[in-house]
Structure 1
Amino acid sequence: MIVATLIESEAQAQDWLRQVLGADDAAMARLARLVELLVEENERQNLIARGTIPMVWQRHIVDSAQLLAVPRETLPEGPWLDLGTGAGFPGLVIAALQPNRPVTLVDSRRLRTEWLARAAQDLGLDRVTVTLSRVEDLPDQTYSVLSARAFAPLDKLLAISSRFSTSETVWLLPKGAKAAQELAILPETWRHVFHVEQSLTDPAAGVIAGRLLGGHPPKPARKPASASQRGSRQ
């Protein structure tokens, strides 16, 4: 991780974006506009909890942007897939900071995806693709980076999305307080080099980061046929 200091204020959040991530004036302007669009749309649909609006830079913007800093390895260039993106976290924030990177935002709620498409257009992010779909229904395609913010338990997430991954894909999974626990109970059939990094915005939260080496879910063992089943085949 680039810096371990916990971010505890809106001013500190914006300073971190500039000083640590190197966000320039154009990137900060895109993020500020994203905050405006988010607050406006939150009056029409529940994108974020109202109580988090006064700390939106800390709780949502930097909480997403920190994924560019937490890996212990350099993030590969190339397309980024954000599953269950909701209000665009972390995917839309990543796109605002790295507008030249192709970012695909996936969500199964029509109102969310319609807003995400409008927001991406407003921000001039022409390399963002917004997809209305369940993860299970997405076509097979591999990505350089894959993120999902509290989308599903780790084992289930890997089972439905490992087909988007190669051994070089970096996974970035904000998991809240259960990050270490979820990683600890992950079945050994998954070959991986995952670890947990401390969140910069929540002292109780962690981010699972790393690579999945196998790239495919383990196949369930076939149960032997019972005597009655064997008899019915004769």
Structure 2
Amino acid sequence: MILTDETAARAYVAQSTKPDVMVKLEMLCHALRDENEQQNLVAKRTLEETWLRHIADSAQLLEYVPRETGDWLDLGTGAGFPGLVIAIMRPDTNVILIESRKRRIEWLASQISVLDLSNCTILGQRLELVETRNAGCISARAFAPLPKLLRLAARFSTSDTHWLLPKGRSAAQEVAELPAKRRTMFHVEQSLTDEDAGIIVGKGKVETHK
């Protein structure tokens, strides 16, 4: 099933969450549209399909992660996708947003406060400077090419770490180009929000080269 419009995207999210969560997601949508007038958080053309392009696109990642997981690291979170959506929909999960740009950090902090997301924190640093910790899940949307992303994030992974990496049309090609040992860790799932897009899904520890 591919979601094709705002009505379908909203219904998809609503089926797996509570009314108070939908209220917070709606608040986020409105705030995003307002803030995008001040800074370019997302491509302007996507604002007419905020539920499809940003909310449902983020929410679909939850299908690949068990509810009982460790810290969720969202790398280069930017406008807060998928990180803010995950934090809203999974209040029992500790979500850590990693973002180095000052104005993005200010935006994220404002939303954490307004939406009362006590389970969500920001690390306002470049990923290379973030202190090593074990992650139950690592997500990244449009952060870096896959080899670079894995190299930078490997130190946060354990044998139990889930990887969720929306990659658009390049997903299958990026996995195919990985070294054989790493390639076996990952596979591509069809995105529900774009028939041409894929999500790279994996589990395990990415070993760094000595």
TM-score (norm 1): 0.86
Unaligned runs of 5+ in 1: 220-234
Structure 1 residue 42 corresponds to structure 2 residue 36: yes
Mapping of residues 46-65 of structure 1, within 5 Å = 46-65=40-59
Indicate the SS of the match to 2:182: coil
The residue aligned with 1:8 is 4
The one-letter code matched in structure 2 to 1:193 is M
Aligned residues: 210
Cα offsets for 1:44-84 (capped at 9, x unmatched): 10001111111000001101111012x2x635422100000
The residue aligned with 1:158 is 150
Taking the aligned partners of 2:184 and 2:81, their CA distance within structure 1 comes to 25
Checking the alignment, whether the CA contact within 8 Å between 1:189 and 1:218 is kept in structure 2 is no
Checking the alignment, whether the CA contact within 8 Å between 1:177 and 1:204 is kept in structure 2 is yes
Identity percentage of aligned residues = 49
Taking the aligned partners of 2:193 and 2:182, their CA distance within structure 1 comes to 29
The residue aligned with 1:74 is 66
CA RMSD of aligned residues (A): 1.3
Indicate the SS of the match to 2:180: coil
Unaligned runs of 5+ in 2: none
Structure 1 residue 188 corresponds to structure 2 residue 177: no
Q: How far 1:100 moved relative to its partner?
A: 2.1
Checking the alignment, whether the CA contact within 8 Å between 2:77 and 2:83 is kept in structure 1 is yes
TM-score (norm 2): 0.96
Checking the alignment, whether the CA contact within 8 Å between 1:76 and 1:145 is kept in structure 2 is no
Q: How far 1:126 moved relative to its partner?
A: 1.0
Structure 1 residue 197 corresponds to structure 2 residue 160: no
Checking the alignment, whether the CA contact within 8 Å between 1:79 and 1:144 is kept in structure 2 is yes
The one-letter code matched in structure 2 to 1:105 is L
Taking the aligned partners of 1:146 and 1:159, their CA distance within structure 2 comes to 13
Which of 128, 133, 136 is the matching residue for 1:136?
128
Q: How far 1:189 moved relative to its partner?
A: 4.5
Checking the alignment, whether the CA contact within 8 Å between 2:175 and 2:183 is kept in structure 1 is no
Taking the aligned partners of 1:190 and 1:8, their CA distance within structure 2 comes to 33
Indicate the SS of the match to 1:217: coil
- Look at both structures and tell me which one has the larger radius of gyration over its CA atoms: 1
Cα offsets for 1:128-181 (capped at 9, x unmatched): 111111111110101101100021111111111110010100000000100000
Cα offsets for 1:187-223 (capped at 9, x unmatched): 124375211000000111000001134x33122xxxx
Q: How far 1:37 moved relative to its partner?
A: 1.1
Which of 194, 197, 216 is the matching residue for 2:207?
216
